[in-house]
Amino acid sequence: MEEAMDENDERRERTEGDAEERAHAEAAVAAEAAAGEAAAETTPEEDAAYWKDRFLRANADLQNVRRRAAEDVEARVVSRLEAILHDLMEVDDYLAHALGNIPEDVRRAEQADAFLAGIQAIREALERVLRTHGLEVVEPAEGEPFDPTLHEALEMLEEEGLREPRLEVVRRGYRIGNRILRPAKVRVVRPKAAGSDSETAPAEDSDRG
């Protein structure tokens, strides 16, 4: 009899314990649901501000992507254009060298004038193409001082009787706007110093070309 009563008590205690646990679990779930509902409840003004912020951020990201893409395209176009212009500059150098080093017997030859005029016309046409693409010649004028941002000194010379330094152009340079594509190569001729026995002095090495 006593054993049966003990078993009933144990079952009742287990049942009460299970019910208490279920009650705690249900209360926790209800509390979490209430907290979620409270967090989800926002005013229309708050919703509008949230979505406006999301839109502005997305729009800013899109504008940054477009700007970087445009800059990348522009950089590649400029790089290709400069490479082509450098090649054309070399062609102009060859034509200038050819026109400046024609032997006298060639100049006196029959129809030499027409031949030389044709070469000169080709060079002028090439220079027009360069100017069309924004190139400007960098060539020091008479009396212009040496400017390391525009000129590259190949050598330094001294000359007796010279009152002011002068620049002798070896190869002219080119620029686009404020950007120097190729500095002008020059010889710098200075008045000879009193008591100086040196006629020439090497210029400092330069990697600019």
**Distance separating alpha carbons of residues 166 and 145, to the nearest angstrom:** 7
Q: Is residue 36 in a domain?
A: no
Q: Is residue 17 in a domain?
A: no
Shared-domain flag, residues 58 and 117: yes
Q: Is residue 10 in a domain?
A: no
Q: Which domain holds residue 97?
A: 53-133
Q: Is residue 27 in a domain?
A: no
| Domain end point (choices 109, 133, 157) | 133
Domain count, the chain: 2
| Domain end point (choices 133, 160, 176) | 133
Residue 206 has pLDDT above 50, yes or no: no
Tell me the mean pLDDT in the region 4-11: 53
Shared-domain flag, residues 159 and 201: yes
Mean pLDDT of the chain: 80
More confident residue, 87 or 106: 87
In a 13 Å sphere around the CA of 2, the CA atoms on its Cβ side amount to 0
How do residues 147-180 score in pLDDT, each as one tens digit? 999 999 999 888 887 888 889 888 989 998 888 9
| Residue 19: per-residue pLDDT | 67
Q: Is residue 101 in a domain?
A: yes
Cα 176 to Cα 96, 117, 137, distances in angstroms? 21, 29, 9
Residue 209 CB contacts under 8 Å (≥ 6 apart), including other chains: 152, 182
More confident residue, 186 or 163: 186
Rounded to an integer, what is the distance from CA 3 to the centroid of its chain?
A: 94
Residue 24 binned pLDDT confidence (cut-offs 50, 70, 90): low
Residue 16 binned pLDDT confidence (cut-offs 50, 70, 90): low
Shared-domain flag, residues 162 and 204: yes
Which residue type does 170 have?
V
Residue 26 has pLDDT above 90, yes or no: no
Q: Is residue 58 in a domain?
A: yes
Shared-domain flag, residues 76 and 98: yes
Closest to 116 measured CA to CA, from 102, 130, 131 = 102
Q: Is residue 32 in a domain?
A: no
Q: Is residue 60 in a domain?
A: yes
Residue 44 has pLDDT above 70, yes or no: yes
The terminus-to-terminus CA distance of the chain in angstroms comes to 114
How do residues 52-103 score in pLDDT, each as one tens digit? 999 999 999 999 999 999 999 988 988 888 888 899 999 999 998 888 888 8
| Domain end point (choices 82, 106, 133) | 133
| Residue 41: per-residue pLDDT | 66
Percent share of the chain, pLDDT over 90: 29
